[in-house]
């Protein structure tokens, strides 16, 4: 289980609240979200630390939840790719994930 390269869990902040609202308040209702969907990609997200912590509103509840909003899902995937490529490379990303999100 790799530590996230996208977001610090100990901050107790919601990644999307920070990104979209400039809201850095601590949250109690955080859930871990793997940026790359699907069974195989979830395992890869775990291996490479491509995960963030989200409040219920941004994870599963309502129209701004990544599981209900493709635009926000793609935003997280693009940010995951950027984080991955900072640590590894674009070629490595394409070899592993096979799709460019940025």
Tens of pLDDT, residue by residue over 55-66, are 999 999 989 999
Q: If DSSP states are collapsed to H, E and C, what string results for 66-101?
A: CCCCHHHHHHHHHHHHHHHHHHCCHHHHHHHHCCCC
Diameter of the chain measured on Cα atoms: 38
Residue bearing tokens 């990104």: 19
Please say if the pLDDT value at position 10 is more than 80: yes
Give the whole-angstrom CA distance, residue 18 versus residue 35: 16
Mean pLDDT of the chain: 93
**pTM > 0.75: yes or no:** yes
| Between residues 40 and 84, the one the model is more confident about | 84
Domain map of the chain by residue range? 9-92
Q: How confident is the model at residue 72 (pLDDT cuts 50, 70, 90)?
A: very high
Please say if the pLDDT value at position 1 is more than 80: no
Please say if the pLDDT value at position 97 is more than 90: yes
Tell me what pLDDT residue 98 has: 92
Tell me what pLDDT residue 76 has: 96
Residues 6 or more apart whose CB falls under 8 angstroms from that of 68 comprise 60, 62
Residue bearing tokens 């990544």: 66
């Amino acid at each position: 289980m790799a530590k996230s390269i996208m977001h610090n869990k100990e901050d107790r902040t919601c990644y999307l609240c920070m990104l979209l609202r400039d809201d850095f308040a601590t949250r109690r209702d955080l859930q871990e979200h793997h940026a790359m969907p699907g069974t195989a990609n979830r395992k890869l997200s775990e291996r490479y630390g491509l995960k963030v912590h989200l409040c219920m509103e941004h994870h599963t509840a309502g129209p701004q939840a990544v599981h209900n909003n493709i635009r926000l899902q793609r935003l997280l995937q693009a940010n995951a790719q950027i984080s991955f490529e900072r640590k590894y490379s674009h070629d490595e990303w394409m070899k592993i994930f096979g799709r460019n999100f940025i």
